[in-house]
Amino acid sequence: MSRRRALGQHFLRDPAIARAVVDLVAPTAADLAVEIGPGEGALTGELARRAGRVLALEVDAGLVERLRPRFPAVEVRLADARTWDYRALAAPPGGRVLVVGNLPYSVGKPILAAVLAAHGAVAEAALMLQREVAERVAAPPGSRVYGSLSVLAQLHWDVRVALRVPPGAFRPPPRVDSAVLHLRALPAPRVAVADERRFERVVRAAFAQRRKTLANALAAGLGLPQEAARATLAAAGVDPGRRAETLTILEFAGVAQRLS
């Protein structure tokens, strides 16, 4: 029982929700669909019916053995979805790479991070997550839950919370609400960023102390003298007294640029 909990095994028991999740990415016979955590196959059948090729990544060997005979056309791999290299996936001719999954909540964030990093390879994703995490990823500037996860995800992806799913849709029911994120990779970053690692450092430092002013948060997080942080912000046209949660992605890019 505790192993099942550790693996986040809450199986979807509503076929209408499974269809609605797959509908978000609308697989066709030309597409490769990668399913994360197929479990007992609630989404797998729907994907197999619609996508040209399905690759399913499951970490539980017992479930892998049960899935293989049920879905002979699906390539079921015993694999850890946190460390799978989604960036190496190649789209079939004329098709797309899609990622779909009802993610294990215990490791939802590292799996999400690995998928987000593959914006050059993955065209679209539909991922069920803990609702609070999904809302943070999709949050706009000014929102209470807007943070580094929102900025870093939205640099390369169009993100929206597409469905909200109650605990009763799963067996056993989780203790938290769930939501499905629909992610679409942008053809180019939302704003031009010369050095993405520097951009990420700035964003993380700004939100690490979100109650502080930007000048204080950046000085502390980046090890800068207060005056240098204030001058950089002023040069980027950003009031040093603002809080990180009010900055747009464009403004973060401007600040990072001037820190070079």
- Both structure tokens of 243: 């809080």
Binding test (CB under 6 A) with ligand SAM, winner from 7, 91, 117, 191:
7
CA distance 258 to 185: 27
User: Does residue 157 contact residue 149 with C-beta atoms inside 8 Å?
Assistant: no
d(CA 13, CA 225): 55
Q: How far is the CB of 19 from ligand SAM (least distance, A)?
A: 12
The site for ligand SAM, by CB under 6 A, has a size of 24
Question: Minimum CB separation from ligand SAM for residue 27, in Å?
Answer: 15
Alpha helix segments (H runs only) across 93-213? 108-116, 131-138, 148-156, 196-208
In whole angstroms, how close is the CB of 134 to ligand SAM at the nearest point? 14
Closer to ligand SAM at the Cβ: 58 or 124?
58
CB nearer ligand SAM, residue 121 or residue 126: 126
**Binding track over 94-133 against ligand SAM, x by CB under 6 A:** --------x-x--x--------------------------
Closer Cβ to ligand SAM, 10 or 182, answer by number: 10
Q: Which is nearer to ligand SAM, 101 or 147 (CB)?
A: 101
Q: Are strands 170-171 and 32-36 parallel, antiparallel or unpaired?
A: unpaired
Q: Which residues pair with 100 in a beta bridge?
A: 35, 126
Q: Distance between CA atoms of 1 and 135, rounded to whole angstroms?
A: 29
Q: State the Cα–Cα distance between residues 50 and 52, nearest whole angstrom.
A: 7
Contact string (CB under 6 A) for ligand SAM, positions 30-69, x = contact: ------xxxxx-xx-------------xxxx--x------
**In angstroms, what is the minimal distance from the CB of 102 to ligand SAM?**
3
d(CA 158, CA 184): 5
Residue nearest to ligand SAM (CB): 37
Please say which residue, 39 or 240, places its beta carbon nearer to ligand SAM. 39
Rounded to 5°, angle at Cα 183 from 117 and 70: 90
- The torsion angles phi and psi of 52, rounded to 5 degrees, stand at -70, -35
Two tokens, residue 21? 């999740």
Cβ distance to ligand SAM smaller for residue 108 or 147 = 108
> Which residues here bind ligand SAM, judged by CB under 6 A?
7-12, 36-40, 42-43, 57-60, 63, 80-82, 102, 104, 107
